[in-house]
Amino acid sequence: MQRVDHPDAGKANRQALDDLNHGATGLDLIFADASAAHSFGLGTADPKTFARVLADVRIDAITLRLVAGRKDAEAARALAEWIATQPVDPERLALSFGLDPIGDGAVRGGIGNGFDRVLQETIASLRDQHFTGPFVEASGIQWHDAGASEVQELALILATGTAYLRILGELPDDVLKRAVSLALAADQDMFITLAKFRALRLLWSRILAASGLESDALWIQGETSWRMMTARDPHTNILRSTAAVFGAALGSADQITVLPFSLAQGLPDEFARRIARNTQTILQEESGLWRVSDPASGAGYVEHLTQALCTKAWKLFQDIEEQGGITVALGNGYIASLIAEAREARLARIASKAETIIGVTNYKPSREMTPAIEDVPPQKAPSGGFAPHRLAASFENAGALP
């Protein structure tokens, strides 16, 4: 998957076509209102914007994922409206609408009243147009960006996904089982990442089984970690991303998005986008990571990590459920306090140099190379809640590490 996040829709289209002509097999359509935009992203979520961004793109031959933040319902309807003008069958598209009002509300500091009704109405409209889903995305990426631990990220995905299953409970089973996709961050700790993706597949399969649903449509999106990216000595991010993709792929991610290595400095240019694209292509085509299903199965270390993550994440998920679910736990500050504790502990490890960031806390470069970015000013970032924040003030532009 490759990000489409240039504010100019025409230039975004040219980038997307270049990506698809050089190895990408899917596109993440990132809008400026999403926390994942990181100060850039597409503008107005209307059919005209989609027409410009996806001009000459064979949407029936690729995977599409929508990331629109607080305007996700509006963007989903607009995308569906534009698709209705195209000679394609909506039932045959590989398209995730990415609706996530709970995750987006957490970043902004409040979930809108009646979000469940809006979600139900939006999905009903999409189903009437013969789209098959996934419609909503239970994402752990914003929790990870805010500083959550691996256990917290997994538990919050389960809690969010369970809330969506309850809201959409009136859907037929064959629709409901594929209505919710999952998204998980992958970082430079290859073994933890591998175990985390394996754990999520096991945990969500258990949720589906308890709900009387089959797990044959389970779909996991991986994305390289924003918080591990550094603005200083950014080329080290290429190696971090490689380790992250390796772990996510071996952990059975269905699709992966690599954040370009210069994203913490600005809007990545053609070179940075090419490196992000080829990081996956080399691991897929030359290293053949896709050839073995669950290659870590039976490996003692990975199995131990996977089981430990499952056990602890399930316990935290149960704690959240006992409080009344994810929305209640967000409203009473429980989740924010948990993540703040994990974040501060990590900051303390970095400050004491117990945790090293090469090129930032150790082995700083004598001079910085010219940034691989476009001459495009950043846009206003989403505000409110425990929104992801950078360590730049503490560690001299240490990228996106919160």
List the beta bridge partners of residue 255. Answer: 221
- Residue 125: name the closest of 183, 70, 83 by CA: 83
Number of Cβ within 10 Å of residue 80's Cβ equals 21
Give the separation between CA 239 and CA 190, rounded to whole angstroms: 11
pLDDT over threshold 80, residue 382: no
**Which pLDDT score is estimated for 381?**
53
**Which pLDDT score is estimated for 108?**
84
Give φ, ψ of 70 to 5 degrees. -70, -15
Taken in order 339, 382, 53, 82, is the CA torsion positive or negative?
positive
> Integer distance in angstroms from the first to the last C-alpha of the chain?
24
The mean pLDDT value for 148-154 works out to 97
Label residue 212 exposed, middle or buried (CB < 10 Å: 0-12, 13-18, 19+): exposed
Residue 380 banded pLDDT, cuts 50, 70, 90:
low
Continuous segment of H or E residues that includes residue 179: helix 173-179
What is the maximal distance between C-alpha atoms in the chain? Answer: 61
pLDDT over threshold 70, residue 392: no
**Which pLDDT score is estimated for 270?**
96
What are 67-118's pLDDT values in tens digits? 999 889 999 999 999 999 999 999 999 999 999 999 999 988 888 789 999 9
Q: What percent of the chain has pLDDT over 70?
A: 94
Ramachandran assignment for 73, one of left (phi > 0), alpha (psi -120 to 50 degrees), beta (any other): alpha
Residue 156 token pair: 């919050």
The mean pLDDT value for 342-367 works out to 90
pTM tops 0.75 = yes
Residue 362 banded pLDDT, cuts 50, 70, 90:
confident
Give the separation between CA 169 and CA 15, rounded to whole angstroms: 39
Pick the CATH number of 2-362+373-395 from 3.20.20.240, 3.40.50.1970, 3.30.930.10, 3.40.50.300: 3.20.20.240
pLDDT over threshold 60, residue 210: yes
- Residue 276: name the closest of 290, 257, 255 by CA: 257
CA angle at 12 for the pair 7 and 16, rounded to the nearest 5°: 150
Give the separation between CA 347 and CA 40, rounded to whole angstroms: 26
Count, residues in the chain: 402
Among 209-213, 256-260, 303-307, 385-389, the range scoring the smallest mean pLDDT is 385-389
**Which pLDDT score is estimated for 368?**
87
- Residue 59 is classified by DSSP as T
Q: What is the DSSP string of 321-389?
A: HHTTSHHHHHHTTHHHHHHHHHHHHHHHHHHTTSS--BTTTBS--SSPPPP-B-S-PPPPPP-STT---
- Per-position b or e across 323-358, b if 16+ CB within 10 A of its CB: bebbbebbeeeebbebbeebbeebbeebeeeeeebe
What are 215-228's pLDDT values in tens digits? 998 999 999 999 99
Give φ, ψ of 2 to 5 degrees. -130, 140
Give the separation between CA 364 and CA 371, rounded to whole angstroms: 16
Give the separation between CA 221 and CA 197, rounded to whole angstroms: 10
pLDDT over threshold 90, residue 369: no
Distance of CA 261 to the CA centre of its chain: 16
The mean pLDDT value for 187-197 works out to 96
